[in-house]
Structure 1
Amino acid sequence: MPIDALFRSLQLAPNHVRITFDGMPLSVPAGVSLAAALLAHDVGHTRESPVNGRPGAPYCMMGVCFECLVEVDGQANAQACLIKVEDGMSVRRQRGARDLLIGGADDE
């Protein structure tokens, strides 16, 4: 039976990448989910409810609850728990509901 630890500390990850969260630069372990990286940096909430403004943060960590929605590189409604961090990624807290774009940009 293997006795190696099943989990590894984020601080022990060998490589780091740089991302920004609401303009704040962060150095995060390469290869982890965006949600895990944000939780490790105690960013607080990652979204605000479109109904009542209630703050939300990563909860289920498997894409079911949608509490970890963020805006990544200008794309809203991204589930942070399902996205691996990439160097240079720009992440913003999602505030309220986002517009649903139907069709192309020429449909105005």
Structure 2
Amino acid sequence: MTERIMSHPILGDLPHKEKVSFTFDDQLYEAYKGESLAAALLAQGIRTLRVHEETGHPRGIYCNIGHCFECRVNINGLDGERACITPVTEGMVVKSGKALPTTVRDWRKHHGK
């Protein structure tokens, strides 16, 4: 499933680029080499990149310029990487962010803060 704009009435056709493979939550996907991970995931119809650490509410791309940190994912074992500013590379392994097992709110409640 691709939702890329391959031909634009003003910008023209998308130039041919090399394709690379990557995984997101153990599912194999293709992307164009050098495009942002966020763009590659959006083109596959993936909107939720992580869930809020405390509430579990879905989070995805918000600013798409690296300022808001809503698109944080685990890339090749590194937590907190921003999908919007990370270029896709061949064999990249991406995991979505999950809710923490114990919330900060619960910790504060139990520690009187």
Contact 2:76–2:92, Cα closer than 8 Å, also in 1: yes
Q: In structure 1, what is the Cα distance between the partners aligned to 2:70 and 2:16?
A: 26
Q: CA deviation at 1:16?
A: 0.6
**RMSD, matched Cα:** 2.0
Partner of 2:72: 69
Partner of 1:44: 47
Unaligned runs of 5+ in 1: 98-108
Q: Which amino acid aligns with 2:38?
A: A
Q: CA deviation at 1:43?
A: 1.7
Structure 2 counterpart SS, 1:95: coil
Contact 1:13–1:30, Cα closer than 8 Å, also in 2: no
Q: Which amino acid aligns with 2:80?
A: N
Partner of 1:57: 60
TM-score (norm 1): 0.77
Q: Percent identity?
A: 34
Label 1:52 to 1:32 Cα distance change in 2 as closer, same or farther (>3 A): same
State yes or no: 1:95 paired with 2:98. yes
Matched pairs, number: 92
Bigger radius of gyration among the two = 2
The list of structure 1 runs, each at least 4 consecutive aligned residues, that deviate by more than 3 angstroms after superposition, is none
